[in-house]
Amino acid sequence: MKMDVNGIELFYEKEGSGPPLILLHGNGEDHHIFDEAAALLTREWTVYRLDSRGHGQSSRVKELHYEDLAGDVISLIQGLGLEAPVLYGFSDGGITGLLTALRAPTLLSGMVISGANLQPRGMKGLFYWMFRVLNLFRRKPEWDMMLTEPSIRKSDLQTIAVPVYVTAGERDMIRESHTKFIAEHIPESRLNILEGETHGSYVVHTEKLVKIIGDGASFIQEARNR
């Protein structure tokens, strides 16, 4: 399905029944990275899998900015009339989730984010410089965005009003200290560094993600009941 939002067409798939769950993919990917997990998640959730602008079946754009991605998510939630959805965001999707919570504090019931960063240098040096070199030879809007954005401050994290379950792999491309910083400064959060996992090994085309989202949803419910 497609919805007109903010001057573009945003593609999404809706599957299952139950409370709403939004899944946001990472840089250069599309909603298909969640195929395996969604097949199980739809037993308990109404799952909305989005293709971010410039990705998959959504509109192509000349420039990409995380603020625009967050604006699209907000418009989709409001346009579909979703009531207090849980948002899961991987990598760029996690960044988009953080910005969504900052711009629309009462829109979500909670979030689970994996491998997100607050600034480009939240990436480990090897990955940061690898993408910089690659982008010199093959310029892409999604790489331009990743290398120049986001810019989320500690003071921003401190204003997030929903519970956030923060995860990363033990061998993630994001600095562990950076992930811990995110969790430490969101008022209602829980951190889970996953032993033996890389940036996407527990997310992309795997059923492992189902447990992560389940654990995150349990934490969100506990936090909201306090």
Best CA proximity match to 51, nearest among 25, 74, 77 = 25
**46-87: pLDDT as tens digits:** 999 999 999 999 999 999 999 999 999 999 999 999 999 999
**128-169: pLDDT as tens digits:** 999 999 999 988 999 999 999 999 999 999 999 999 999 999
Query: For residue 150, is the peptide bond before it cis, meaning its omega torsion is within 30 degrees of 0?
Result: yes
Name the CA radius of gyration of the chain, rounded.
Answer: 16
List the 8-16 sheet strands across, edge first: 2-5, 8-16, 46-51, 20-24, 86-90, 110-114, 164-171, 189-198
**93-125: pLDDT as tens digits:** 999 999 999 999 999 999 999 999 999 999 999
Query: Which two three-digit tokens encode residue 199?
Result: 């940036």
Query: Which two three-digit tokens encode residue 60?
Result: 């192509």
Q: pTM of whole model > 0.85?
A: yes
